[in-house]
Amino acid sequence: MSKPLSVLEEKRKEAKSRLEKNGYFSDTKIYVGMATCEIAAGSVPVMEVFQNELKNEKNIYISQKGCAGRCNLEPTVEIYQKDKEPVKYIQVTPEKAREIIKKHIKSGKIITEWVGK
């Protein structure tokens, strides 16, 4: 019979392994709003741009996030990079997503005019 603490430790190791495999501990994390309201505002094509254009990049984690309660600013994209302040882009289109990848993700230049306050 397993001891409860050893069972918990095994579950923790399994969860950490899954997170590592999915890239959760990457230095760059990109979250695209995919709540119902964001989908209606056009977030699915935005997510597809990030997934397709960054699929071969190492150390980047792409995921979806829920509703932020700011429907007038959607679709939103949040970028978290190690040792940097988080950035939230608003009213992101597929074209803007490509520019965010080119300028922010690959060159480190934040596109300040698209950042939400």
For the stretch 53-104, pLDDT in tens is 999 988 999 999 998 888 889 999 999 999 999 999 999 999 999 999 999 9
In whole angstroms, give the CA distance from residue 21 to residue 70. Answer: 32
For domain 26-114, which CATH number applies: 3.40.50.450, 3.40.190.10, 3.40.50.300, 3.40.30.10?
Answer: 3.40.30.10
Q: Tell me how long the chain is.
A: 117
Query: pLDDT for 26-55, tens place per residue?
Result: 999 999 999 999 999 999 999 999 999 999
CA angle at residue 2 from 4 to 20, to 5 degrees? 70
Query: pLDDT for 103-115, tens place per residue?
Result: 999 999 999 999 9
Domain positions in the chain are: 26-114
pLDDT in the model for residue 70: 81
